[in-house]
Amino acid sequence: MFFGISIIISIFYLTVFENSFGSPKEFKLRQDIEIIQLQYAILNKKYEQAFNTMNNVRLSDDKRYRPILGMDSLPASFRNPAYGGVDRYRDLEGFEFSPTIIQSHQKLDLLANMSRMQEESFASVEEARKEWARKQEYLPKISPVDPSIRLGDGIKFRKEHPVLGTARWHFGQDFEAPYGTEVYATGNGSVTVAAGWSTTGFGSYIVIDHGYGYESIYGHLSKINVSVGMNVKRGDLIGLSGNSGTSSGPHLHYQINFNGTHTNVLEFFSDDLTSEEYREMIIAMSSKSRYR
């Protein structure tokens, strides 16, 4: 009887305890759910930090990298493409905290999409950077002779040509280089003219095609070290200055044309280098270069 009464009382108290506080298994499950809720809350905070970081990356892409390289900003349709479908999160429905779970998965998918689009954007930026770097090597951007050499006439209309005595334009920049002064290629390119004589009055002269619409001309030379079709690098010794052609004395006529239009060569390089600095620059370039 005592044992029976004890069993009944135990069942009664156990039932009351479970109804009031739940079973130990239920208690453990509630604890697990609370931990999961906390983890999702922390995850959402991390998502917000990730979105801020991604937006900063996007801003740098659109406002810094692309403008420098002359690239257009990406349209919003590319930055935020559609994804998924109406049934994408159906398997996550029907749970006590389905809205929280679905929201987290939506943020994850959005971040993955943004990252993928940004990766493609950076790939195109990198290609543009490489092309920009190549272009900088090809543009005629150094002085063809030692910067200590005095400048002569630049682009101007001469009322009287020093040799011909007639009025005509002077399309280029003269350097008062003594006979035999070393003349260097001002940018990478291909030699298109290496003539011993010219009907244009340049005498022995060289023309280098730098691509991108640019070509450089070196006139009145006494010696030519290159031939047509040869590829040269910036800083390569291509010839020596002289007095050939229609010239009143030893000098170098240097000219840059862009898409056939004559340009002011002084806008392409800085003449504030010393002779020593210029020589060091040429030596550094020559050590990495070879006629091809």
Nearest-CA neighbor of 221 among 188, 192, 183, 184?
183
Residue 172 shares a structural domain with residue 269: yes
- Highest-scoring range by mean pLDDT, 28-37, 45-54, 224-233: 224-233
Summarize pLDDT for 139-160 with one digit per residue, the tens.
999 999 999 998 887 665 455 5
Phi, psi for 168 (deg, rounded to 5):
-170, 165
Contact 135, 141 (CB under 8 A): no
Threshold 0.85, pTM exceeds = no
Q: Is residue 149 part of a domain?
A: no
Contact 111, 119 (CB under 8 A): no
Residue 106 shares a structural domain with residue 218: no
Residue 134 shares a structural domain with residue 173: no
Range of the domain at 41: 2-138
Residue 74 shares a structural domain with residue 107: yes
How many independent structural domains does the chain possess?
A: 2
Average pLDDT over every residue of 206-234? 96
Is the per-residue pLDDT at 239 higher than 90? yes
Residue 163 shares a structural domain with residue 233: yes
Q: Is residue 53 part of a domain?
A: yes
Return mean pLDDT, the chain. 83
Is the per-residue pLDDT at 291 higher than 60? no
Domain with residue 179: its CATH number is 2.70.70.10
Q: How far from chain centre, in Å, is Cα 251?
A: 39
Average pLDDT over every residue of 246-273? 88
